[in-house]
């Protein structure tokens, strides 16, 4: 172990799991409240009831925070913990390693959600068709991201030393 010890990595992972769980709870609530409005169209997005706009914003925000939290903290710390080495590695190597171990279902699935996140981060008025498509895809499939989180956290808990 080059920097952080095993116990410190466990604490980082536990903290990242708690953070991601909070994002997931809010995502679930927003998902449920938005059900009557999905699937969206360009027209329905522009006339979304005013009281639903903050809920849609919450859904997008929490999705992005969940993605960022997992990419920035949970998955790198889990990889370092499992390798017993916290030296920096490219994120694609981390994903590949975690997939090989079964700690995440699929590197490609992760990358799919990263692409959705990036589409939402670069939301331009002239690309409302892409935004609607991205939101509909996210709304329909966000539980697959939750599954990635569930798999990673279960894997960690089953191997905690």
Chain segment 31-78, per-residue pLDDT in tens = 999 999 999 999 999 999 999 999 999 999 999 999 999 999 999 999
Residue range 13-37, pLDDT digits in tens: 999 999 999 999 999 999 999 999 9
Nearest to 104 by CA among 55, 145, 60, 53: 145
CATH number of the CATH domain containing 95 = 1.20.120
* Within a domain: 105: yes
- Residue 109 placed within a domain: yes
Q: Of 20, 131, 122, whose CA–CA distance to 65 is shortest?
A: 20
Distance separating alpha carbons of residues 31 and 19, to the nearest angstrom: 18
On whether residue 59 sits in a domain, the answer given is yes
In a domain, 1, yes or no: no
Determine the structural domain holding residue 122 and report its residue range. Answer: 6-159
- Flag whether the pTM goes above 0.85: yes
Q: How far apart are CA 14 and CA 3, in angstroms?
A: 18
Tokens of 15: 């903290």
C-alpha span between 40 and 132 (Å, rounded): 6
Structure tokens at 107: 């590197």
CA 120 to chain centre: 13
Q: Where are the alpha helices (DSSP H) in 35-52?
A: 42-46
Domain count, the chain: 1
Q: Which residue in the block uniquely carries the two structure tokens 């490609």? A: 108
Residue 79 lies in a domain: yes
Query: What's the rounded Cα separation, in Å, for the pair 115 and 64?
Result: 11
Structural domain contains residue 155? yes
């Amino acid at each position: 172990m080059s920097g952080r010890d095993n116990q410190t990595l466990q604490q980082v992972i536990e903290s990242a799991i708690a953070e991601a769980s909070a994002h997931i709870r809010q995502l679930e609530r927003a998902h449920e409240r938005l059900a009557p409005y999905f699937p969206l169209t360009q027209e329905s997005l522009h006339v979304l009831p005013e009281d639903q706009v903050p809920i849609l914003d919450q859904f997008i925000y929490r999705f992005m925070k969940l993605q960022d939290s997992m990419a920035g903290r949970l998955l790198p710390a889990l990889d370092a913990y499992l390798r017993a080495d916290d030296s920096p590695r490219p994120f694609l190597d981390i994903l590949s390693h975690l997939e090989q171990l079964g700690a995440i279902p699929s590197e490609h699935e992760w990358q799919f959600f990263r692409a959705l996140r990036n589409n939402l981060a670069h939301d331009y008025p002239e690309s409302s068709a892409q935004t609607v498509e991205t939101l509909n895809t996210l709304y329909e499939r966000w539980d697959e991201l939750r599954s990635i989180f569930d798999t990673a956290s279960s894997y960690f808990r089953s191997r905690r030393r």
